[in-house]
Chains A and B, each alone.
Chain A
Amino acid sequence: MDILTWTYILVGASFALYIGIAIYTRAGSTKEFYTAGGGVSPLANGMATAADWMSAASFISMAGIIAFSGYDGSVYLMGWTGGYVLLALLLAPYLRKFGKFTVPDFVGDRYYSNKARVVAVICALFISFTYVAGQMRGVGIVFSRYLEVDINTGVIIGMCIVFFYAVLGGMKGITYTQVAQYCVLIFAYMVPAIFISMQLTGNPIPQLGLGGVVADGTPLLDKLDGVLTDLGFAAYTSGRKGMIDIFAITLALMVGTAGLPHVIVRFFTVPRVKDARLSAGYALVFIAILYTTAPAVAAFGIYNAIETVADKPVDQLPAWVGNWQKTNLISVDDKNGDGIVQYSADPAINELKIDKDIMVLASSEIANLPNWVIGLVAAGGMAAALSTAAGLLLVISTSVSRDLFRTFKPDMTEKRELLIARISAAGAVGLAGYFGVNPPGFVAEVVAFAFGLAAASFFPVIIMGIFSSRMNKEGAIAGMISGLVFTIVYISYFKFISPELNNVDNWWFGISPEGIGSVGMLVNFVVTYTVSKMTPAPPQKVQDMIQEIRIPRGAGAAQEH
C-alpha cells in the first residue's frame, strides 16, 4: 500500500479511538468537567500529563531544532524536563492539598482577592492562547504533508476533533483520550528512531546509538563535528550561544514548565497528595522516553540528510527531497549551475535549504523506512498536537466559566456553569482555529514565549504563596503585573517593534528574548517580596490555610468545600 493509504488508515483509526473514548467518558458534573472527578490513578495521570505536555513542538520541531543547533538545543531538553523536578517538589503536592479546580482559584484564595484572581485569569488566558496558536499550526503542517489537503482544511478537521472531545468530555474525556494519545505518539516516535539507530549504529536503543559508531568506525558525534566544521558550521557538540543565554533560556523553560496552567491542573485530578507527587514522577518517566530519544533522532537526521544530499548531483537526489519540495519545506537551488548540491554555512554558496520542522516528519523517508511507519508518524504528530490543544482549551474554558463568571455570579447553578464552560470551550476552539489559519510565527518560538510569560507571572506567586505565609495580596498583584509587563515589553521590542536589533549586542546582559522570562521571574520575586514587606500581613485565616496545605492528610475532604 502507498503512504497516503496507510496515513488515512492510521490517522483515521486513531481519531476513531479518541472519539470513542470521549463518548464513553463524557463529563456529567462541573467536578468531572474541571478535574475528571478527582479519581484518576497516578499512572494514568502521568501518561495524560506527558501527552498534555508533549506538544507539536516537542514531537515535530524539537529534534529539528537540536539537529541544526547541536549543543545549543540542550536548552529544550534540560528545560522542558527539569521543570518537572520543580513541579513535583515545590508545587504539585501543595496545590493538590489545596484541592480546588484551577490556578487562579489558588491565587484568588491564597491572596484573598478577586483582583489577584482576575490578574491570574488574564495570565492564564494569555499563556494558553499563545501556546495553542503554535499547536494549531502544527496540526496544519502534519495535515498538509500527509493527507495532501490544504493547511486550512487540515486545521478545520483538527478543530472538529478537539471540539468534540474537549467540549463534550471536559477534563474527564480529555484525561482518558490523552492516555490513548500518549501511547500513539510514543509508539510513533520510537519506531522510526529504533529503525534508524539500527541502520546507522547497529544499536537498537537510540539513546545508546547516539554515542555509537557509524560504518567507518568513528563515533557518530565526532563524525558530525567533523562534517559540520568542514562545511563551515559550528561543531555539533559545542554551542554558539553565550553561556549566560543558555543558562537563562534553560531556567526560563524550567520555571515556565512548572508555571504552565494546563500542566498544573492535571495534578488536581488525582485522589491524594502522595498520588500528586508520584504522578509527577510517572509523567517525567513518560516524557523522558521521548526527550532522551530526541537528541538521537536529531543527530541521525542531520547526519543522514548531509550524507544523502550534500555534494550529490541535483538530478539524482533521493525521492524524499522531491516529496518535501512540494510543501516548500525543503528547497534546492543550483546557483552556480554545476549540477551538484553545495551545502555550506556561507549563504552565498549554499544551495540547500531545509526547514527545521521536517527533521522528524521526514526522517522515516530519509532512512527509507516502510510506508506504514511514515503513516504512523503522521498519527503521532496529530496525537501530540491535539492532546496539548485540548488541555489548553480546557484551561481557557475553565478560566472563563469558573474564574470569571462564577467569581461574579457565585449563586449560578451547576448546570448553568457547565453550559457556560462548554460554550467558552467552543469559542476557544474557534479562536484557536483562527490562529491555525493565520499563524503568528514559527511553532517552537511561539511556544518559547508562552514559557517566558508563565515563568514571569505564575511561578513566583505560587511558590511564595506556599513557602512564605507573610506574602500578601498587594505584593502578589504588583509582582505578577510587573513580571508580565517586563517580559512582554522585552519580547515585543525585539521580536515585533525592532526585530533588526534582535542580536546579542543589544540584549541586556546577553540574554535573548527566549531567556528573558528568567529575569521577569526575578523581577516578580523582588517586587512581590518588597511590596509585601511594606504592606500589612495577610489575615490569620489565610495564614492558617497555608499551614494546612503543607500537611498531606485530609486532601480528599478539602476538595468538597
Chain B
Amino acid sequence: MSDNKQKMQAYWKKNLRTLLILLVIWFTVSFGFGILLVDQLNTIRLGGFKLGFWFAQQGSIYAFVVLIFVYVYRMNQLDKEFDVNEE
C-alpha cells in the first residue's frame, strides 16, 4: 500500500512539473510577449504585422492551442507510465 502511495506521489510530482512548464510558456506568450514586452517586440516586423501586436491578437491564441495538445499527449504518456490510465 505505501508502495502505491509513493508511486502516486511521484506521479503527482511529474504532473505538477508538466503543469509548471506549460504555464510558464502560457504566461510568456500572452502576458509577456502580448503585454509587458509589446512595445519592444513591435519594433520587429512579421510581414504586415508588428510582432507584439501579432502576439496579442493572434500568436498567443495559436500557442494556447498547441499547449493544450502537448498537455494531453504528455499526460496520456504519464498515465500509462504509472499505470493509472483508463480503459
Contact = CB atoms under 8 A, between A and B. Distances in A.
Interface stretch (A206-214, A320-328, A334-342, A446-454): A206-214
Interface of A: 66, 71, 73-74, 77-78, 81-82, 84-86, 88-90, 93, 207, 210-213, 219-222, 237-238, 243, 246-247, 250-251, 254, 272-274, 277-278, 280-281, 284-285, 288, 291-292, 295, 547, 550-556
14 contacts: A71-B56, A77-B56, A81-B60, A222-B48, A237-B50, A274-B79, A277-B75, A288-B65, A292-B62, A295-B58, A547-B8, A550-B15, A551-B11, A553-B79
B68 interface: yes
A82 B67 CA distance: 10
Q: Which of A82, A238, A273 has the most CB of B within 10 A?
A: A82
Question: Top 5 nearest A-B pairs by Cβ distance?
Answer: A219-B48, A211-B48, A74-B56, A281-B68, A295-B57
A211 B58 CA distance: 11
Interface of B: 8, 11-12, 15, 19, 22-23, 26, 30-31, 34-36, 38, 42, 46-50, 53-54, 56-58, 60-62, 64-65, 67-69, 71-72, 75-76, 79, 84-86
B63 to A, nearest CB: 9
A85 B47 CA distance: 28
Given A89-B22, A207-B58, A292-B58, A274 B76 contact: yes
Contact of A82 (B30, B50, B75): B30
Contact of B30 (A222, A250, A273, A284): A250
Nearest to A90: B19
A contact patch SS: helix
B82 to A, nearest CB: 9
Contact of B49 (A90, A211, A274): A211
Contact of A221 (B23, B50, B69, B76): B50
A76 B8 CA distance: 39
B64 A84 contact: yes
A211 B60 contact: no
A281 B65 CA distance: 7
A556 to B, nearest CB: 8
Contacts of A81: 60-61, 64
A221 B26 contact: no
Contacts of A66: 57
Nearest to A208: B47
B48 A221 contact: yes
A314 to B, nearest CB: 34
